[in-house]
Amino acid sequence: MRAGLVQLNVSDDPVANLDMTLALIARAKAQGAQFILTPECTNGLWSNRAEQRGAMRTEPHDPTLAAMRRVAMQHEVWLLVGSLAVKSNDPDGRFANRSYMIGPDGAIVARYDKIHMFDVNVSETEVYRESTAFRPGSSCVLARTPLAQIGMTVCYDVRFPHLHRRLAKAGAQILTVPAAFNHTTGSAHWEVLLRARAIETGCFVLAPAQTGYHPEKEGKGRRTWGHSMIVSPWGEVLADAGTEPGVITAELDLDQVEEARRRIPALMHDRNFDGPA
Ligand SMILES: O=C(O)CNC(=O)[C@H](CS)NC(=O)CCC(=O)C(=O)O
């Protein structure tokens, strides 16, 4: 199976973001991709949460989601929409940061709400409080498709290895890590984290990412790292998108999942042990 990852540089204009996304999905299809993936926050990144609130829709009324279902049907591909910010039923009015697995008939076969919120002071000037705008999910999701068993995660989740291990033990062959990784932590951690998750689990890791400069955040620049990546179950980087918007593809041979786990059966070697709780 050929996977195609779309790397985006979104703004706070969902219409322009959708145009760019559709053009790059068409390019991935032209390059032979049967499974196409887009980054976290495909419908946009906002600097101003009040403006974002005005632009967000509930799931049945989200124009990006409707367009993604149509384009999956049009190209007859499986499509992982890394995430969309959608209005949820949260009592505090927060959005969901929700990832969608869409089939070639346009049906939504799985939804995953990002569990771990990026509430982090990257530096004195770079502060993120994702949980003020987004309501975290509380369920781990494995999408069972005819393509593969696909463990769904989003961005900051990549730092929580037990989530990935649980997905792999439940049968995942591919882990999806759509992201809007920030530039500072991306340069230090992104590739290492992705390769570690692949090696630990014996899964392919598909990580479509945002790249470049996004609308200013309360006067502070927001810059994402790019480097969308396809990693094999042995931990090799099969493709790296660099820093420009675009598409990368790679052929995924799912037999490599079993092979990597046969060579290093660490997934089966868990033991109970005593010690600090
Ligand atoms: O805020 C929004 O609108 C959309 N959400 C994001 O972009 C999220 C939270 S700020 N980004 C991350 O999780 C980056 C994680 C990261 O960079 C790391 O783990 O180092």
In a domain, 242, yes or no: yes
How far is it, in rounded angstroms, from Cα 37 to Cα 257? 20
Q: What is the CATH number of the domain that holds 176?
A: 3.60.110.10
Residues involved in catalysis:
40, 114, 155
ipTM of the complex: 0.90
Q: Is 95 in the pocket of ligand 1 (CB under 6 A)?
A: no
Q: Is the pTM of this model over 0.90?
A: yes
Q: Look up residue 136 and give its DSSP letter.
A: P
Residues 6+ apart with CB under 8 A from 170: 140, 142, 149, 151
Q: How far is the CA of 180 from the centre of ligand 1 (A)?
A: 5
In a domain, 277, yes or no: no
Range of the domain at 19: 2-267
128-177 pLDDT per residue, tens? 999 999 999 999 999 999 999 999 999 999 999 999 999 999 999 999 99
Structurally, how many domains does the chain consist of? 1
Give the CA angle between residues 52, 130, 277 to the nearest 5°: 160
In a domain, 94, yes or no: yes
Q: Would you tell me the crossing angle of helices 161-169 and 191-201 to the nearest 10 degrees?
A: 30
50-92 pLDDT per residue, tens? 889 999 999 999 999 999 999 999 999 999 999 999 999 889 9
In a domain, 273, yes or no: no
Q: Which atom of ligand 1 is nearest to the CA of 114?
A: 13
Choose the residue to mutate in 156, 222, 225 for probing ligand 1, maximizing ligand atoms within 8 Å of C-beta: 156
Mean pLDDT over 98-118 rounds to 98
In a domain, 274, yes or no: no
- Is residue 108 pLDDT above 90, yes or no? yes
pLDDT of res. 220: 59
In a domain, 58, yes or no: yes
Q: Is 2 in the pocket of ligand 1 (CB under 6 A)?
A: no
How remote is the C-alpha of 45 from its chain's centroid? 14
Q: Is 41 in the pocket of ligand 1 (CB under 6 A)?
A: yes
